[in-house]
Structure 1
Amino acid sequence: VAHAVSGQVRPMHRPTVHAVYRPRPEREPVDAHPAPLRSVRLPTGPADPSGAAMRLRPDPLSLPQLAVLMAWALVSAAVFVWLRVRSQARLPVRPFAMAAARAVQGPRVRGQHTLPVPMQELRAVLFDMDGVLCHSDDCHLQALKAELLEADFETADGRPIDAAFWQEMVSGQDSDQVMQNLFPHRDLLWRQAFLDRKEARYRELLRGRLQPVLGLRRFLAWVDGAGLRRAVVTNAPRASADAVLAELGLADYFDVVVSAAECPQAKPAPDPYLLALERLDITASQAFAIEDSPSGVRSAVAAQVACVGVTTSFPAHALRKAGAVLIAPHFVNFLCFCPDALPSLNPEGTTYWFTGTDTFSNFSPHPVRIEGVEWPTSEHYYQSRKFAGHPELQEA
C-alpha cells in the first residue's frame, strides 16, 4: 500500500494487501487464551498510478442470483406497502363511520344507537326469569341433587352432579325434556312426580337466598320511566315463577307472565314468546327479549324477537352463536345502551356512555377538558402524567 501511494510501483506490478485478524467465537470463556495471529493475502486489482485508493473487485452476480435478489426485494416492498396501508387505514375507520352515522341519523341520543329496537318503536321488554332476573342456579342445583340422590341416580360416566352438570344437562332447557334425558326408562307419571318434588324443594330453598342480577332495580326503573310494558317468559312451572317473583318483590310488577306449561312447546320453540306477544297485543318488532341461555335466545329469535344475551349463565360466544344481537354481563352494563338511563355529566352537551365491549377507546378523537386544559384525546392526558411538574413537557 505504501508503494502504491508513493507511486513507486511498476506498471505491471500487482500488489497485495496484508490483513491481520483474530477469529473470535460467539461467546468466549473468561479464561480462554487469545487465538494466534494469522496473515492472509487478498489479491487486488492493478495499482492506480495517480495514487488513488484501490478497491477490491467482487465477482459479478449470476443471472439466477440476480433473479432471487430482485424477487426478494419485490416481496419485501409489497409487504411493507401492505403493512403501511393497513396501519394507516385502521384508525380512521371508526371516526369516519361515526361521522357518517351522525350525518344520516342526525344528533345521537345516549344509547339509542345500540338498543336492539329503536325507542320510537319499542313498546315492551320480555324477560326470562332464572339467570336474568335473579341468580337461582345454586338453589336449583341443590334441589335437583338432593332428589337425584334419593332416587339413587348415577350418571353414565360417573361424573359428579355439579355446576358443570347443571349447565350442560339442565340450564335453559325444557323440564320435561330434562327428565326424559335423565330418566329415559321411567314412565311419564314417575318423571312428573320427580319434577314436582324437585320444584317444591327448590321453592323452599330460595326463601331469603335469591339475589337479583346486578343493576336489575335500576333497569326496571328505566323501563317504568320509558312507559314500556313488561312480561316474564320462562320455562319454569307457574308455581315456581310466582314464588321467585314474590321473593324478589316483583309479584305485581309484570303485565304478563308466561310459563312453559301454558304453551304447546317450551323453549327453544317460539311458542312462549309468541304467546307473550299475543297477550301484550304487540308485534315482534315492538319488543326485545333478555335471555341468559342459548335455548332461550333461540326461542326469541324463532319468534322474530330481537334478543339481548346476559352472560350470567353462559359465555358470550354461545349466546351470540344462538342469535343474540347484543351481549351484556349484567344490567349495569346494559344501562349504557338505554337512552337517558344514566345521568348526564355535561349539562351543556351530551354525555356518551360506553361499556368495556365497545370499540370506543382512549385513542378516539374526542377531546377532554381537565382542570382547564383541553387534550386531543384521553391518551394525551394519560401520557402527560409521566411529566407531572413540567408543564412545557406535558404540552409537547
Structure 2
Amino acid sequence: MKAILFDLNGTMIDDMRYHTEAWYRILVDEHGADLSMEEVKKEMYGKNQEVLERVFGENHFTAEEMEALSIGKEKQYQEAFRPHLKLIEGLDRFLEKAHKQGIKMAVASAAIPFNIDFVLDGLDIRKYISAVVSADDVKRSKPDPETFVMAAEKLGVQPEDCIVFEDNPKGVESALNGGMKVVVIKTAHEEHEFEGLSNILRFIDDYNDPYLEDLLRN
C-alpha cells in the first residue's frame, strides 16, 4: 500500500443521516417527490445534479435551478450537522500514523468542494491530505472509477497500490471498477448490501479496528 483514498461523507465523518434528511426536505417536502426516507437514502449517490435527474427526470430543472438546489441542500446539511462535526472514532490517530509512515492520502468524493472544505478545514485535517477529487473534477461519478483513478493519478501512484476507504456499495463498486481494494466502514450500510463485491478486504465499525494496525504495518 502506497496510498489511501478516502471517501468523505459516511467514511471520515458519520453524517449520512443528515444528508438523507436534507435531501428528503428538498425532494419530498419542497418538490413533492413520492419517496420514503429509505428510498431517498438509496438515491443518494453521485453528484447532486444526478440525484435530482434520477428522481425527477432530465430537463425537469434548469442547470441554474439544480445548482441552486444543490447549494441549498448542502447549506441545510451543514447547519444541521455542524454541532456534531467530528471524525469517526480512531480516524485522528490513523491519519497521524499513516502520515508519519509516509503513506500518501487523498479525499476522493462525490461531494462538492463546499462540503469537502467544511470537513477538511473544520476539523483541521487538510495537513494530512495531499490531493482532493470532488464532484466538480470528474465527468462520471461513482460507480464509474474516474474519481478514485484521478485521485491515484494526483498522488502519483498506481491504482493497484491504493487502498480505498468507503461506506457505500456504489463507492465500493467504483473502486472495483478501478482495480482497487476496499476497507468498508459500516456507518450507513449493512454487510449484506455489499454482496457480490469481490474487492472488500474488511468491514470495520470505526478506525480503532485492530486490522488497521496490520494494514499500516504491511
Instruction: State TM-score, norm by structure 1.
Output: 0.50
Query: Distance in 2 between the 1:201 and 1:220 partners?
Result: 29
8 Å contact 2:131–2:154 — kept in the other structure?
Answer: yes
**Partner in structure 2 of residue 276 of structure 1:** 151
- Residue 14 (structure 2) pairs with residue 135 (structure 1): yes
More helix by share: 2
8 Å contact 1:260–1:267 — kept in the other structure?
Answer: no
**Partner in structure 2 of residue 329 of structure 1:** 205
Query: Distance in 1 between the 2:165 and 2:77 partners?
Result: 23
**Partner in structure 1 of residue 54 of structure 2:** 181
How many correspondences in the alignment?
214
**Correspondence list, 1:157-168, <5 A:** 159-160=35-36, 162=37, 164-168=38-42
158, 162, 172: which is aligned to 1:297?
Answer: 172
**Partner in structure 2 of residue 252 of structure 1:** 127
Query: Distance in 1 between the 2:215 and 2:196 partners?
Result: 30
Query: Distance in 2 between the 1:281 and 1:263 partners?
Result: 18
| Cα displacement string for residues 97-151 of structure 1 (whole angstroms, at most 9, x for unaligned residues) | xxxxxxxxxxxxxxxxxxxxxxxxx211110101110011132133223334563
Q: What is the DSSP-based 3-state SS (H/G/I as helix, E as strand, rest coil) of the residue aligned with 2:136? A: helix
Residue 173 of structure 1, CA deviation: 3.4
Query: Distance in 1 between the 2:91 and 2:11 partners?
Result: 9
Residue 237 of structure 1, CA deviation: 0.5
Deviates more, 1:323-332 or 1:290-299: 323-332
Q: What is the DSSP-based 3-state SS (H/G/I as helix, E as strand, rest coil) of the residue aligned with 1:289? A: strand
Rate the CA distance shift 1:308–1:336 in 2: closer, same or farther, 3 A. closer
Residue 329 of structure 1, CA deviation: 2.0
Query: Distance in 2 between the 1:148 and 1:272 partners?
Result: 26
**Partner in structure 2 of residue 309 of structure 1:** 184
Read off the aligned partner of 2:47 and give its amino acid letter. Answer: D
**Partner in structure 2 of residue 53 of structure 1:** none
Residue 182 of structure 1, CA deviation: 1.9
**Partner in structure 2 of residue 318 of structure 1:** 193
Residue 204 of structure 1, CA deviation: 2.6
Query: Distance in 1 between the 2:52 and 2:28 partners?
Result: 15
Residue 230 of structure 1, CA deviation: 0.7
| Cα displacement string for residues 238-297 of structure 1 (whole angstroms, at most 9, x for unaligned residues) | 111111222222133211111022012111101111111111111112211011111101
Question: What's the % identity of the aligned pairs?
Answer: 24
Rate the CA distance shift 1:151–1:231 in 2: closer, same or farther, 3 A. same
Q: What is the DSSP-based 3-state SS (H/G/I as helix, E as strand, rest coil) of the residue aligned with 2:132? A: strand
**Correspondence list, 1:69-88, <5 A:** none
Instruction: State TM-score, norm by structure 2.
Output: 0.88
8 Å contact 1:292–1:319 — kept in the other structure?
Answer: no
**Partner in structure 2 of residue 169 of structure 1:** 43
When Rg is computed on C-alpha atoms for both structures, the one with the higher figure is: 1
Structure 1: gaps (5+ residues): 1-121, 343-396
Structure 2: gaps (5+ residues): none
- Residue 97 (structure 2) pairs with residue 222 (structure 1): yes
Rate the CA distance shift 1:166–1:135 in 2: closer, same or farther, 3 A. farther
- Residue 66 (structure 2) pairs with residue 191 (structure 1): yes
Rate the CA distance shift 1:283–1:154 in 2: closer, same or farther, 3 A. closer
Runs of 4+ residues over 6 Å off in structure 1 = none
Aligned-residue CA RMSD (Å): 2.2
Q: What is the DSSP-based 3-state SS (H/G/I as helix, E as strand, rest coil) of the residue aligned with 2:84? A: coil
Query: Distance in 2 between the 1:268 and 1:225 partners?
Result: 31
Q: What is the DSSP-based 3-state SS (H/G/I as helix, E as strand, rest coil) of the residue aligned with 1:322? A: coil
Query: Distance in 1 between the 2:141 and 2:71 partners?
Result: 17
8 Å contact 1:180–1:191 — kept in the other structure?
Answer: no
8 Å contact 2:24–2:40 — kept in the other structure?
Answer: no
Residue 215 of structure 1, CA deviation: 1.5
Query: Distance in 2 between the 1:297 and 1:266 partners?
Result: 13
Residue 191 of structure 1, CA deviation: 2.7
Residue 336 of structure 1, CA deviation: 2.8
Residue 197 of structure 1, CA deviation: 1.4
